[in-house]
Amino acid sequence: MFNKEAILFYKKKENKFKIPLKKIIIMNIKPLADRVLVKPAAAEEKTASGIIIPDSAKEKPLKGEVIAIGNGTKDEEMVVKSGDTVLYGKYAGTELELEGEKYLIMRQSDILAII
């Protein structure tokens, strides 16, 4: 498994209820060299004027959050960090789907800007 979700539960002795305390995402994917794993932002559902966009007309998002980074190469050190929000090109990267979630893996040079 590459992506696991672990939920910690706290058990009250008097009520015997299970209350979720924290949701932890464990990611076992480690990009190599100058590669970056990015989770794309959700596509917009409505326009500024309130018109709902159908699924067939939605454009691929061009920004996302960096989930994991590689170690870099001897010629190029890594500038982006995990948690950064980045802009990338329309055709950048390779799409991956792990347990129902979509990710992109791309080179650091495919990233246009850090927001």
- The residue range of the domain holding 67 is 29-114
Q: Is residue 24 in some structural domain?
A: no
92: domain CATH number is 2.30.33.40
pLDDT at residue number 73:
92
Provide the CA 63 distance to its chain's centre, in angstroms.
10
- Number of structural domains found in the chain: 1
pLDDT at residue number 80:
95
Q: Is residue 21 in some structural domain?
A: no
Residue with the larger pLDDT of the pair 72 and 16:
72
Alpha carbon distance 89, 62 (integer Å): 6
Name the token pair of 52.
């709902």
Q: Is residue 17 in some structural domain?
A: no
pLDDT at residue number 108:
94
Q: Is residue 110 in some structural domain?
A: yes
**62-93 tens-digit pLDDT:** 999 999 999 999 998 999 999 999 999 999 99
**42-61 tens-digit pLDDT:** 887 888 888 888 878 777 88
